[in-house]
């Protein structure tokens, strides 16, 4: 499989880009990697890059977007931060990726058993981590069940995963609210913004469309 070129990127639509990721995740689950010569892709992308998607995911070592979607060099922009939330710098990176570099899809990818989400559920305090986890707290507060405080912590796996899903949803809302550039592109059909959840137990990605 060759690296994307300006010409192949131009043929991509938001829907086609999403389908590429879905097919890549199926290959990953079945341990059937696309045939790529990565060194050849290094050479092919030395003069420029033409990715088709931008993926915001967690720093979790088990959730590498390139691996779980079976993508090669030059295929996707990968933004990684614990808890897969956005701030001004990440939004600026996404605007560059879509408006200037031509990607057609933004995916906010959460995952099950997320450590950052667990920390937010437990109201963990540790140096700069305290401020970072505060950005995930709105998702914790938005999940109203269970109401019993003793069940609203990292030991409740179901609660943690519900918070992770809500965090993806709220992150997408923030992208649309805080980036007029991306909101306009989405409204015009130039890009698609979707959420997704990676299951660390079986390698599958569920998209929220």
Give the pLDDT of residue 34: 87
Lowest model confidence (mean pLDDT) among 24-38, 49-63, 90-104, 178-192: 24-38
Instruction: Name the pLDDT band for 3 (thresholds 50, 70, 90).
Output: confident
Give the pLDDT of residue 36: 83
Q: Mean pLDDT, the chain, as a whole number? A: 95
Q: Is 122 annotated as a binding residue?
A: no
Q: Which listed CATH number (2.40.128.20, 3.10.20.30, 3.40.1050.10, 3.50.50.60) goes with 6-208? A: 3.40.1050.10
Instruction: Name the pLDDT band for 47 (thresholds 50, 70, 90).
Output: confident
CA distances from 47 to 2, 3, 8, 36 (A): 15, 12, 15, 19
Which residues, in sequence order, are bridge partners of residue 106? 54, 193
Give yes or no for residue 13 having a pLDDT over 90: yes
Of all residues in the chain, the percent with pLDDT exceeding 90 is: 85
Q: Do 22 and 69 form a contact (C-beta atoms < 8 A)?
A: no
Instruction: Name the pLDDT band for 46 (thresholds 50, 70, 90).
Output: confident
Q: Is 121 annotated as a binding residue?
A: no
Lowest model confidence (mean pLDDT) among 33-37, 63-67, 102-106: 33-37
Lowest model confidence (mean pLDDT) among 18-22, 46-50, 201-205: 46-50
Which residues, in sequence order, are bridge partners of residue 193? 106
The C-alpha R_g of the chain, in whole angstroms, comes to 18
Give the pLDDT of residue 26: 98
| Residue partners of 170: CB distance under 8 A and separation at least 6 | 138, 139, 142
Which residues, in sequence order, are bridge partners of residue 55? 78, 107
Q: Is 60 annotated as a binding residue?
A: yes
Instruction: Name the pLDDT band for 209 (thresholds 50, 70, 90).
Output: confident
pLDDT for 67-85, tens place per residue? Answer: 999 998 999 999 999 999 9
Q: Is 89 annotated as a binding residue?
A: no
CA distances from 189 to 55, 94, 181, 184, 185 (A): 18, 16, 13, 9, 6
Give yes or no for residue 37 having a pLDDT over 90: no
């Amino acid at each position: 499989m060759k690296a994307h070129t300006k010409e192949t990127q131009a043929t991509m639509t938001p829907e086609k880009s999403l389908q590429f990721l879905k097919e890549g995740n199926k290959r990953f689950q079945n341990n059937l990697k696309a045939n790529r010569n990565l060194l050849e892709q290094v050479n092919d992308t030395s003069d420029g890059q033409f990715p088709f998607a931008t993926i915001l995911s967690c720093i979790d070592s088990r959730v590498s977007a390139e691996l779980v979607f079976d993508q090669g060099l030059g295929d996707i922009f990968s933004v990684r931060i614990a808890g897969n939330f956005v701030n001004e710098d990440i939004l600026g990176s996404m605007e560059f990726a879509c408006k200037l570099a031509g990607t057609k899809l933004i995916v906010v990818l959460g995952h099950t058993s997320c450590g950052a989400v667990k920390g937010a559920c437990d109201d963990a305090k540790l140096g700069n981590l305290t401020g970072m986890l505060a950005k995930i707290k709105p998702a914790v507060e938005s999940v109203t069940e269970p109401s019993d405080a003793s069940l609203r912590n990292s030991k409740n796996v179901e609660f943690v995963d519900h918070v992770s899903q809500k965090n993806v949803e709220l992150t997408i809302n923030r992208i649309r609210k805080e980036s007029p550039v991306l909101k306009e592109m989405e409204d015009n059909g130039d890009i698609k913004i979707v959420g997704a959840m990676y299951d660390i137990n079986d390698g599958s990605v569920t998209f929220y469309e």
